[in-house]
Amino acid sequence: MLEILKDAKGVVIFAHGSSRHSKRNKYVASVLRASGIGTLLFDLLTVEEAEDRANVFDIDILAQRLLYATEWIITNQETKNLPIGYFGASTGAAAAIKAIVSRGGRPDMVGSALQKVKSPTLLIVGGNDFWSIRA
């Protein structure tokens, strides 16, 4: 779902391995919109695809879907001239090629591609998320 104000400063595409219905992602999106930034929340996988847990961890599929969303934003009349940012959460963070923020993401799953990220990146990991801290 694309939500954008008339004078938006940019648009953030949410890349998440869960659902666009995530309360956390909806909250972050509402804060961004309140500060004049448009948001695009969508599911990287269809309901049927998500039923196969292997798809949830297929970073190539997730990254391809993120590229499709980016192409759509770039060609959309309302958003084509706006700067684009990415907010990655869960396994979707591994698919974000120019992530601004990754909340509870899995950057360890992208392998050597993480070294190619040129934009500023903030990785947010909870203090008790020992798995992510170790990675």
Any idea where the domains of the chain sit in the sequence?
A: 2-134
CATH annotation of 2-134? 3.40.50.1820
Answering whether pTM is above 0.85, one says no
pLDDT(94) > 70: no
pLDDT at 37: 92
pLDDT at 115: 77
Instruction: Report strand pairing: 2-3 vs 37-40.
Output: antiparallel
Greatest alpha-carbon pair distance for the chain in Å reads 43
Higher pLDDT, residue 128 or 60:
60
Q: Give strand pairing partners of 3.
A: 39
Structure-block tokens of residue 39: 């948001």
